[in-house]
Amino acid sequence: MIRRQKVIVSLLCAVLTVGLLAGCSGKNGNGGSGDKVTLRMIESLTSPKRTELIQAMITKFEEANPNIKVEFISPPFDQADNKIRTMLGSDEQLDVLEVRDLTVAEFVNNGYIEPLNSYTDKWKDFATVSAVSKSVGTVGDKLYFVPNGLYQRQMFYRSDWLKEAGLNPPTTWEELYDTAKKLTDPAKNRFGFSFRGGAGSNGTTDAMILAFNGDKVNLDDSMFTKDGATIYSTPEAKAAMELYLKLYKDASPPDSINWGFQEQVQAFTSGVAGILLQDPDVIQSLQEKMTEGTWATAPLVTGPTGKALFAAGGAGWGITAKSKHKEEAWKLVEFLSSPAENTKFSKDYGLIPIHSSATEDEFFKTGPYKTLIDMSNKPDTFVNYKPAFQYPGTGQWGQVTMETGQSLLLGKSNLEDTLKKWDEYWVDQKTTLKQ
Amino acid sequence: MKLRLLGVSKFIYLAIYLLVMVFPLYWIVITSLKPQKDIFSFPLKYWPERFTLDNYVHIFKISKFHIYIGNSLMIAIISAMIVLVIAILSAYVLARFKFRGHKQIMLAFFATQMLPGFVALAPLYLMMSSMSLINNRFSLVLMYTVILIPFSTIMLRGFFQRIPASLEEAAMIDGCSRWSALVRIIIPVMLPGIASTFIFAFVQNWNELFLAVMFIDNDALKTLPVAMNSFIMKFDVDWGAMSAGAVLSILPTILLFAFAQRFIVEGLTQGAEKG
Amino acid sequence: MKKQRAFILSGLIPALLLVLAFTYYPFLKGIVMAFQEYKLFDLRSVHFVGIDNFKAAFKDPKFIMALQNSGYWVVISLFFQFFLGLTLALLMKKQFRGRGIYQGFVFYSWALSGFLIGMIWKWMFNSQIGVINDLLLKLGIIEERIGFLSNPHWAMFSVIIANVWYGVAFFAIMLLAALQSVPSELYEAAVMDGASGVRKLWNVTLPYIMPTIIATTLLRAIWIFNDPTIIYGLTNGGPAGSTHILSSLMLDKIIYGGDYGAASAIGIIMIAILLLYTIFFLSVTKAEKAGEF
């Protein structure tokens, strides 16, 4: 009898609780109380530590602007872009959002985000924003987001391994192959190169093909040569890919055919692989997990013509087209992008700051970041190009190269066919863009 | 002699099986107790040289794990309870009465199990958004309830069919209404079946990730699976935090399983009585 | 009579209403996208394209591979989950010391999320830093590391292992419950007739629990077919698409391609396959026996 009543009571409780929950759920803080404006902001490249840093900046902003409240949304990295897309496609309020180089074309194409030029015209600190940062956030002739820091690939290597083998850090792709091959000893579970054949594999293939093509590449439209053909159609591309295949077969863990970012970095930190090509935001992770003095950084390796092409990538803050509080939203973006805040954020998180003045900071002149400055001081060797983010197929490109590249590595398809597929993909992109 | 041989081989089979099942759990637990630097050190250590609770401290410090656990518990339990109320009613009706549309309704419930959920995700978001139900724990309770109703109805209907109708008929002759007969006579007899349905529902809710990511914005409303998913970053998986979080998220379900073990088996036994 | 009708209605309405409004309605809207060009990159030019998405799917070698893989994935996973689950249930039927604790440790996998299982197994399967290779090497079973997730010959096998590991518990729990309900008189009668252990199993036990077997295998097959989470977490379909099943390919189209039209078309094909399967399964096993449906 008692048991029975207990069940009924608890069921009743449950129903009541839900009623209460539903009752007090009238959130969406915008309920017109006074002049207080609530901004809703979302990030994309989430990690717990980064969220904390951004939240701290927001708190500072709110203290300086007591009439603005910021609701900060941090979806897990893995699902973030998908969530942002879905929110943008609905009527959910969103004012400030993190736009990535990979997503900007899509957002602009759908009219989701607002050009920022009219705001930056009046922004006093805009003058010190570096040209590269501006170019990352620009589609066509309009700026759509202000980057919150830049990524730029460099080389990380196990200095202790190289020393032990009496080798110098490689400077060309050929040398990188030789060095990596010498370091490789499968019996000891040691490999020279931390290869990435899974998600993001185009980071390696495109870098090699660009470096091999060298001067031929049209720097403003980097999937094409100056003659208008794709970079995949040249004999240099074939040479690059032949070396790529050798690099996988002779100097990389076989498992790495399916590795993405995380496994690639794990292999380096755990002492399975000796050379890693990555962006600077990996530095902190290396500092945490590896013993000091066992690793160092070096510039990107060059192709046969002595050039390495590199692009800066980045994500940053943009404003939604639907926002009802654009002035306040810009205030927030301006605050987050100010030299003081951005430099601090870049240091704390390990990115290249967006203000050229900030690179003068001691922090970026020493240690693992120094390489990046060194590279930018040699613009003839390390040539900056603009990635092809304006094409609709850019988002899919990673997936396409991954799958065709894997079947090439597995020997299921041959080099000529693979390059032909890639060539066709970009010819096709060009024609759709022209329409 | 033959019997002993049989006993020994049974023992070996069960032991191997136990080993295979427990090893991944063991591996997560000791990883969660290793210091960051040791997690990926070579050669692999099957017993940590140094024990630390850092990873556990870490997940409560950098992310508000107690809040996420609270949210998950609340959402999972409340939704499972509502599912029980609704599904007991529909299951009882479907078990006891034959009426026009009976078969179609059963089919409609069964067919939901075939629908690949991701097709509906975007329209569902728009729908919930237009009702201002985004970023609200209630909307998760609602979604989870909806998802579980069909299967719970099918499962509970099975249990009801095993209970002889004479039981409540007797009660009704004594003057009980059908409602009170259901609540007073049938449900108590069905408790084991209800408990196992509850556990099934709880486990599903406790683990759900994709809807929780989509429908919840505020940090204070997040659930445990979403928080765990956040340990996957652009370059790195925080395995220390991930394994500590995993241990904490497995704990309640293991406790529930262990605690309700007798209940579940009893409950399902009832359901499976009679063919 | 009127009272009874009121009772039936009030009992069914909450469940039906919720399921129709929040499952079928959004789902029907999702299905419409299968006949549209519906790409997130260009939502301004969403338009109807007839059955183009279906044609494109059947022309895509990735889809054909995923279709094949779905078959392996379901049949092999289901077979081992069921077979191991049944033997486990048979062995656990008789009370032994510590059975409660034993149950706790062999059944917990059922309570884990697909995402977590994917993560854990991906980590253990890693050929360089994973514990499985390390163990096999230490035990002298293999001499060279195996690329469980990188070698296309192994990859499908590996994801199926993880899936079997996860799902045995479901069958074991369900079948154990069913076994415990077999009336002992039936066994006594069989023994009097001089039946051996195997005969008892074949002639008494299995027929008795057949309804449970039919219901659980039917449902489980559908769930396995539809659930992409373990594959999504483990290999995300790689290498070179060799571990994609239909549901993971569909997820891939949504998350990486933003192509809802193609995803929805795959979804419809999946439903069609499941319908055929269910009809076939129920007619072969004689539906009434399942009791449930």
Query: Is the CB of B234 less than 8 angstroms away from the CB of A92?
Result: no
For residue C101, the SS3 value is: helix
pLDDT tens digits, one per residue of C20-78? 999 999 999 999 999 999 988 888 889 999 999 999 999 998 999 999 999 999 999 99
Q: CB distance A48–B231 less than 8 Å?
A: yes
Number of alpha carbons in the 13 Å side-chain half-sphere of residue C59:
7
Note whether A406 contacts C128, CB cutoff 8 Å: no
Whether A3 is covered by a domain: the verdict is no
Q: Which residue has the higher pLDDT, A22 or C205?
A: C205
The H-or-E segment that residue B181 falls in is helix B178-181
Contact C114, C229 (CB under 8 A): yes
The answer to whether residues A266 and A400 belong to one domain is: yes
Query: C267: number of CA atoms within 13 Å, CB side?
Result: 27
The SS3 call for residue A331 is: helix
Cα C156 from Cα A395, distance rounded (Å): 27
Please indicate if any CB of chain A lies within 8 Å of the CB of C151.
yes
Dihedral sign for Cα atoms in the order B237, B242, B246, B247? positive
d(CA C137, CA C122) in angstroms, rounded, equals: 18
Interface mutation target, options A18, A185, A248, A258, chain C, most CBs of C under 10 Å: A258
Ranges of beta strands (E only) in A111-267 are 138-139, 142-143, 146-151, 154-158, 191-193
Q: Which residue of B has its CA nearest to C18?
A: B146
Q: Do A253 and C128 touch (CB under 8 A)?
A: yes
Which residue of C1, C3, C18, C184 to mutate against B (max B Cβ within 10 Å)? Answer: C18
By CA distance, what is A40's nearest residue in B?
Answer: B217
Three-state DSSP class for residue C259: strand
Residue A28 in domain? no
Tokens of B114: 């075939």
CATH top class, domain C52-289: mainly alpha
The enclosing H or E element of B87 equals helix B65-96
Question: In which domain, by residue range, is A160 found?
Answer: 154-311+392-434
Q: In chain A, which residue's Cα lies nearest the Cα of B240?
A: A289
Average pLDDT in the C197-216 region? 85
A175 and A219, same domain (yes or no): yes
Q: In the prediction, which pLDDT does B44 show?
A: 81
Q: What is the pLDDT of residues C82-139, one digit of tens each?
A: 999 999 999 988 878 888 788 888 888 888 888 899 989 998 998 878 899 999 999 9
| Token reading at B80 | 């499972």
Taking CA atoms, what residue in C is nearest to B224? C113
Shared domain check, A215 and A101 = no
Listed in sequence order, the residues at least 6 apart from C282 whose beta carbon sits closer than 8 Å to its beta carbon are C218, C290, C293
Which amino acid, B190?
A: M
Judging contacts by C-beta atoms under 8 Å, the chain A residues touching residue B188 are 3-4, 7
Count of all residues that appear for chain C in the document? 293
A interface mutation test: which of B221, B230, B231, B263 has the most A CBs within 10 A? B230
Subunits with 3+ C-beta pairs closer than 8 A to B? A, C
Residues A140 and A45 in one domain: yes
From chain B, the residues in CB contact with A28 under 8 A are 132, 135
Compute φ and ψ for A311, nearest 5 degrees.
-130, 145
Identity of the amino acid at C179: L
Give the other-Cβ count within 10 Å of A12's Cβ. Answer: 12
CA distances from C109 to B72, B77, B259 (A): 19, 20, 16
Mean pLDDT (whole number) for C138-147: 89
User: How far apart, in whole angstroms, are the C-alpha atoms of residue B32 and residue B250?
Assistant: 13
Q: Of residues B258 and A374, which shows the higher confidence score?
A: A374
Query: Which residues fall within 8 angstroms of residue C6, CB to CB, at 6 or more apart?
Result: none
Does the CB of B130 have a partner CB in chain A at under 8 Å? yes
For B168, what's the count of Cα atoms within 13 Å in the CB-facing half-sphere?
A: 22
Decide if C129 touches A, using CB distance below 8 A: yes
| Residues A251 and A267 reside in one and the same domain | yes
Tell me: the pLDDT tens digits for A311-327? 888 999 999 999 999 99
Task: Give a yes or no: residue A121 inside a domain.
Answer: yes
A265 CA to centre of own chain? 15
Domains in chain B and their CATH numbers?
22-273 (1.10.3720.10)
Please name the chains neighbouring A, where neighbouring means 3+ C-beta pairs under 8 angstroms.
Answer: B, C
Instruction: Looking at the complex, report in whole angstroms how far the Cα of residue B233 sits from the nearest Cα belonging to chain A.
Output: 6
Of A326, A355, A353, the C-alpha closest to A96 is: A326
Q: How confident is the model at residue A19 (pLDDT cuts 50, 70, 90)?
A: very low
Rounded CA gap, A144 and A147, in Å?
Answer: 10
Look up residue C170 and give its two tokens: 């479901």
Assess whether pLDDT exceeds 70 at residue A26.
no
Residue C287: per-residue pLDDT: 57
Question: Which residues of chain B are within 8 Å of residue C30 when distances are taken between CB atoms?
Answer: 119-123
Sign for the CA dihedral angle at A212, A214, A217, A219 comes to positive
Among residues B146, B79, B179, the alpha carbon closest in space to that of A15 is found at B79
Asked whether the beta carbons of B83 and B145 are under 8 A apart, the reply is yes
Residue C269 three-state SS: helix
Q: Check residue B269 and give its pLDDT.
A: 55
Contact C235/A258, CB-based, under 8 Å? yes
Residue A22 has what pLDDT?
44
Q: What is the 8-class DSSP label of residue A217?
A: B
Q: Under DSSP, is residue A320 helix (H, G, I), strand (E, B) or coil? A: strand
Closest partner CB to C176 (pick from B21, B110, B265): B265
CB contact under 8 A, A74 and B63: no
C contact residues 202-241, partner A, Cβ 8 Å cutoff: 235-236, 238-241
pLDDT at B272: 45
Of A82, A253, A409, the CB nearest to C255: A82
Cβ of B20 within 8 Å of Cβ of C181? The answer is no
Residue A385 in any domain: the answer is no
The secondary element (H helix, E strand) that includes residue B120 is helix B118-130
- Examine the domain organization and report whether A103 and A166 are in the same domain: no
Angle A69-A73-A74 from CA coordinates, rounded to 5°? 140
**Closest by alpha carbon to A314, among A145, A201, A200?**
A145
The reported pLDDT for the residue numbered A4 is: 47
Domain boundaries, chain C: 52-289
Query: Worst-scoring range by mean pLDDT, A335-344, B163-172, C237-246?
Result: B163-172
Nearest chain C CA: its distance from A399 CA (Å): 7
In chain B, the residue whose alpha carbon lies closest to the alpha carbon of C249 is B118
Q: What is the dihedral of CA A271, A273, A275, A276, to 10 degrees?
A: -90
Contact C113 B225 (CB under 8 A): yes
Instruction: Please report the residues numbered 203 through 262 in chain B whose beta carbons come closer than 8 angstroms to any beta carbon of chain C.
Output: 203, 206-209, 225, 228-229, 232, 237, 239, 242, 246, 249-250, 253-254, 256-258, 261-262
Note whether B59 and B241 are within 8 A (CB): yes
pLDDT at B265 (0 to 100): 62
- How many CB atoms sit inside 10 A of residue C255's CB? 18
| A198 vs C127, C151, C238: nearest CB | C238
Instruction: Residue count of chain A, please give it.
Output: 435
Predicted confidence pLDDT, tens digits, chain B (275 residues): 566 777 888 899 999 999 999 999 999 999 999 988 788 777 788 888 888 999 999 888 877 899 999 999 999 999 999 999 999 999 999 999 988 899 999 999 999 999 998 889 889 999 999 999 999 999 999 999 999 999 999 989 988 887 888 888 888 888 888 888 888 888 888 888 888 899 889 999 999 999 999 999 999 999 999 999 988 887 778 888 999 999 999 888 878 877 776 666 665 555 444 33
* Residue A11, in any domain of the structure: no
Structural domain includes residue A373? no
Give mean pLDDT, residues A14-23: 44
Whether residue A110 and residue C258 make contact (CB cut-off 8 A), yes or no, is: no
Q: Find, in chain A, the residue whose alpha carbon is nearest to that of B61.
A: A48
DSSP C24: I
Statement to judge: residues A117 and A81 lie in one domain: yes
CA distance C152 to A201: 18
Identify whether residues A323 and A182 lie together within a single domain. Answer: no
B36 touches chain A (CB under 8 A): yes
Both tokens of A100, joined, read: 């990535």
Option in B122, B135, B233 nearest A86 (CB)? B122
A contacts of C43 (beta carbons < 8 Å)? 89, 110
Query: Within 13 Å of residue C65, how many CA atoms lie on the same side as its CB?
Result: 15
**Pair (A168, A143) in one structural domain:** no
Distance CA(A318)–CA(A136), nearest Å, equals 13
Residue A251 CB neighbour total at 10 angstroms? 23
Cis peptide before A186 (omega within 30 of 0): no
What pLDDT sits at residue A23?
Answer: 39
Using CB atoms within 10 A of its CB, is residue A220 exposed (0-12), middle (13-18) or buried (19+)?
A: exposed
Q: What is the pLDDT of residues A230-260, one digit of tens each?
A: 999 999 999 999 999 999 999 999 889 988 8
Q: In whole angstroms, what is the distance from residue A163 CA to residue C182 CA?
A: 72
Nearest to A359 by CA among A351, A152, A282: A351
Give the β-pairing of A154-158 and A295-298. Answer: antiparallel
All chains having 3 or more CB pairs closer than 8 angstroms to chain C = A, B
Residue A365 maps to a domain? no
Report d(CA C244, CA C250) in Å as an integer. Answer: 9
Structural contact between residues A116 and A146, judged by C-beta atoms closer than 8 angstroms: yes
Please answer yes or no on whether B271 and C111 come within 8 Å at the CB atom. no
Residue A114 pLDDT greater than 90, yes or no: yes
Burial of A392 (0-12, 13-18, 19+ CB in 10 A): middle
DSSP string, A83-143: HHHHHHTSS----EEEEETTTHHHHHHTT-B---HHHHTT-GGGGGB-HHHHHHTEETTEE
Kindly report the backbone phi and psi dihedral angles of residue B47, in degrees, each rounded to the nearest multiple of 5, phi listed first: -140, 120
Helix or strand run (H / E) with residue C123: helix C114-125
Residue A382: exposure state from Cβ atoms within 10 A (0-12, 13-18, ≥19): buried
Q: In the prediction, which pLDDT does A9 show?
A: 46
- Which residues on C lie below 8 Å from A82 (Cβ)? 254-255
Interface of B with A in 64-103 (CB under 8 A): 77-78, 81-82, 84-85
Q: Contacts of residue C61 in chain A, CB cutoff 8 Å? A: none
Name every chain C residue with its beta carbon within 8 A of the beta carbon of A395: 41, 256-258
Pairing of strands A154-158, A142-143: unpaired
Sign of CA dihedral A249, A395, C236, C218: negative
Give B-chain residues touching C100 at CB under 8 angstroms: 258, 261-262
Please report, as a single letter, which amino acid is at residue C86. L
One-letter amino acid identity for C193?
D
* pTM over 0.85, yes/no: yes
Counting the structural domains of chain A, the total is 2
- What is the CATH number for A233? 3.40.190.10
Q: What is the pLDDT of residues A397-433, one digit of tens each?
A: 888 899 899 999 999 899 999 999 999 999 999 998 7
pLDDT score of B49: 82
**Residue C193 pLDDT grade (very low, low, confident, very high; cuts 50, 70, 90):** confident
